Structure formats: C-alpha cells, structure tokens
Amino acid sequence: MAFHLKNVTLVTHGAPVRTDADIVIGENGIVTGIGTGLATPEGAEVADARGSLCLPGFVNSHNHSPLMIVRGMVEDRGFAPAYIPGVPQGHWLSEEETHALARLGVLEMLMAGATTIVDYYRCPEALARAADEMGMRAMVGGRVIDMDTAALAEGRFERAPALGDETLRAALDLVEKWDGHDRIGTILAPHAPDSCSRDMFTEFRALAERTGKQVHTHLSQSQMEVDQILAREGMTPTEFLDDVGLLSPDLIAAHCIFMSDSDIARFGAAGGVVTHAPIGNASFGAAAPIKALRDAGAAITLCTDTKSADMFEAMRMAIATARWRAGMSFDLDAAEVFGWATAGGADALKVHAATGRLTVGDPADLILLDPLAPNLRPVIDGVGVVVHSGSAGNVTDVMVQGEWLVRDRKPTRVDAAEVVAEAQRVAKGLWARAAAA
C-alpha cells in the first residue's frame, strides 16, 4: 500500500531539520516524495504525524538476541556471559528456547527504533525466524566456537573440535537456507580469537573468500583475550586476524577496547569496521579508543549488544566515553554518532537493502517519535535533541519498506504479551537450571 505521511519533523543525517514535511511512499515501499503540501497519490493511506520527529530507522550492528536472558544478572559479575560461571549458557538452549528468547530480544530492538539488526548466536535458524516474524531487516549468523564453553566460563581454553563442527554446520545450514531472502541476509560469525582456534579462523577466511560474506567477530574485548592470544600465538588479537588474512573492510569487529597504538593503526589501515558497543563496554569500566580508530581509518558503526536496545543511549554513551578518554575533547558530536547509528551502519554492512537515510529513492525504513514528549522539545537542532535527550521510550511507530511494524507503540505482526510471557517462562527454567548446576 502507498502512504502519505503528513506533518512530520524530518531529522536525517547531514541535512537540516525540516518541519511540516510530507513523505510519500510508493506501493513498493520506496520514498517517492519529500516536501511540503505534496499531493496524495490515488489510493494512498494518509496519516497525520502531528509534528512527530521522523528519523531513519537505526542500524543496530551487533547483537545476540537470546542473551537478554542474562540482563540485570551479570553486569556486576563480569564482562560477558560466556566467561562467567553459574549463568545460563548458550549450549544449554534448544532451538525453541532460543526462538522464544530471540523473539523478545528482537521485539525490544524493533520497538526501540531499530529497523536493521545484526544478530548471531547458537541455533541461528531461530534468530532468523524471529527477525522474519517481526518483519525486520536482519543479518544473521551462527556463532561458531571450538573451545569448550563450560571451560571458558571458568577461564580455561580447551579445544572442543566436535563443538566447532556442530556450530559451523549450523552456520552453513543457515546460509544455505536463508540466502536470497528479501529482508534476512547471512553473515559469517566466529565468536572471538580466544574462543576459536587458528584452524577455525583459517576456515573462515576461506569461507569469506568463497562467499564474499563479511566476517563478524569480537576483537580485543578483554585483557584476558589479549593475554590468551599473546600466549597462544605470540601476537595480539589484531595481529592474529591479520596473520590469518581476515583484516579488511569485510571484517566487522565488536568492542576493540584493548588495542595498542600499533593495533589501532593496523586495523585502521586495513579499513576494518568497528561495531562500537559503548553501553556494554562502560558497564564493566572500559571504553574503546573509538576516536583513535576513526582517525586511523576504521569505519564506525553503533550497537547495543543486547545490553539494552536503546540506540539513543548508545549514541550518548559513545560521546561520553570518547570525551572521557580524550580529556573533554569535543570533536565527536551528535551529528557524527547519529551517522554511525544510521547511514554509517548501513554503508559499512552488506547483504541488506537499508540505506540509513530518508531521501527520494530510499526504502521507507523510518521511525516516529512522540510529538508530545517534553524531552524532545524544543526542536532547534533536530539531531542534537534526538541524540542528547531522546530515548527508546519516545518511539511510537516503526516502518520497514513501507510496512508499519509498530503502530502507536504496539507491534503489528505479533502479540507482545505472548512474546513476553513465553520468554519469561523459558528464562525462569534456565535460571533454575543454573542455580542447580
């Protein structure tokens, strides 16, 4: 169906705010007109946005949607669930348990304004089903790991070739089944340098060369990882990924915290992509050298890493942590991080149709923010008020490719109460198992 969205306050990357604007969307979900007083196409549905701020949908570039099960439970215990004993672990989850948790995680991201996400974990078929059910764009991968996960939680690194074979097979099955889908693309996702062997990363280099797919992984997310790779390989994690042939613009690396100056220079010179997770990093007292990485030539995208789904919070935290590291330097601002969350993310990631922009010819992936929210007024610089004062709770409506997926704060394709109840049931069972272990 075609749409004529009237009376929006349009906030986009690299352009001044436009008030009283109209957006016309064709039946194919593509923006066909932006202006004031535009004619309504025959048969188009007309909606009055009542002055709502209208933004491109967010590109949330790194998540593990089932891991919302540990939120509020592990932040005081360590930096990542895979390395923490006594909590539910990914290898415990069945396909349907993964699906139930992924539905909640994906729904949260959607209702917080993400229209394109990257999601990878065990049982990747369940993740793809969840994103497809909600109507989102997603790049999905199977988390591949060939170190024993129970040992990892206790700080030991022990090879588990059978687990590597199992998780790699699931990842490749996902690629075979979902490649060619109009909204769901697939990625290659080895977990991290310390949790995957050299042989596994060499296998992924061959897969990337054969398929042309990007490789998403964690990199330098902890000092433990750095120490382990120095001991195992005699080099830093960044040097290791370069040594196996993966350091390139098709490497998407989450965190990138514990990097030396030479690592930063090496990563930037290769044109690698950082998926910056400032909320999760800050939660365990860390901050990535994001300005240095940017200045070295790395592309920067933004993510919430399932710590929350609030990309507004992530934008603010990106600025705050960068200024903390740089001693109150103000050369990272609202306009730049808004770009990381929208157009920058879309440009850096493959296998999707999103642009992170709202101009004629772009897909209508957009969000509306509450026009009566006091924290979003007054609007002078639209990007400034969105980044420095907005929140996920301001999102009222979400559209992907011209289809409303959230309308008046309610998802249109699923029953939110049922999604929440099922995830709660699964989570309670898994935490009871953890307590008894």
With a cut of 90, say whether residue 81 has pLDDT above it.
no
| Dihedral sign (CA 324, 325, 331, 333) | negative
Q: Which CATH architecture has domain 3-56+362-411?
A: Roll (2.30)
CA distance 273 to 252: 5
pLDDT at residue number 154: 80
Asked if the model's pLDDT at residue 360 lies above 90, the reply is yes
pLDDT tens-digit map of 363-387: 999 999 999 999 999 998 899 999 9
Residue 246 has pLDDT above 70, yes or no: yes
**Stretch 130-134: mean pLDDT, rounded?**
98
Q: State yes or no: pLDDT of 68 exceeds 90.
A: no
Mean pLDDT along residues 333-351? 96
Dihedral sign from CA coordinates of 367, 317, 308, 130? positive
Residue 240 has pLDDT above 70, yes or no: yes
Residues of the chain with CATH 3.20.20.140: 58-348
pLDDT score of 197: 97
Across 39-48, 64-73, 80-89, 151-160, which has the greatest mean pLDDT?
39-48
Give the mean model confidence (pLDDT) for residues 254-274. 98
Asked if the 58-348 domain carries CATH number 3.20.20.140, the reply is: yes
Q: What is the pLDDT of residue 76?
A: 78
- For range 115-133, the mean pLDDT: 97
Tens of pLDDT along 151-167? 887 888 999 999 999 99
The pLDDT value recorded for residue 79 is: 63
**Does the pLDDT of residue 90 top 80, yes or no?**
no
Quick one: average pLDDT of 380-398?
A: 96
Asked whether the beta carbons of 122 and 67 are under 8 A apart, the reply is no
Q: What integer pLDDT is reported at residue 77 of this predicted model?
A: 76
Q: Name the least confident of 81-95, 110-124, 311-325.
A: 81-95
Q: Strand, coil or helix: what is 215?
A: strand
pTM, entire model? 0.96
Task: Measure the CA–CA gap between 172 and 175, rounded to whole angstroms.
Answer: 5
Residues of the chain with CATH 2.30.40.10: 3-56+362-411
C-alpha dist (Å) from residue 405 to 256, 306, 397: 33, 20, 8
pLDDT of 84 higher than 90: no
> Could you report the per-residue pLDDT of 166-178, keeping only the tens digit for each?
999 999 999 999 9
Q: How far is CA 35 from CA 9, 20, 342, 410, in A?
A: 11, 9, 21, 28
Asked if residues 426 and 70 have their Cβ atoms less than 8 Å apart, the reply is no
Whether the per-residue pLDDT at 89 is higher than 80: the answer is no
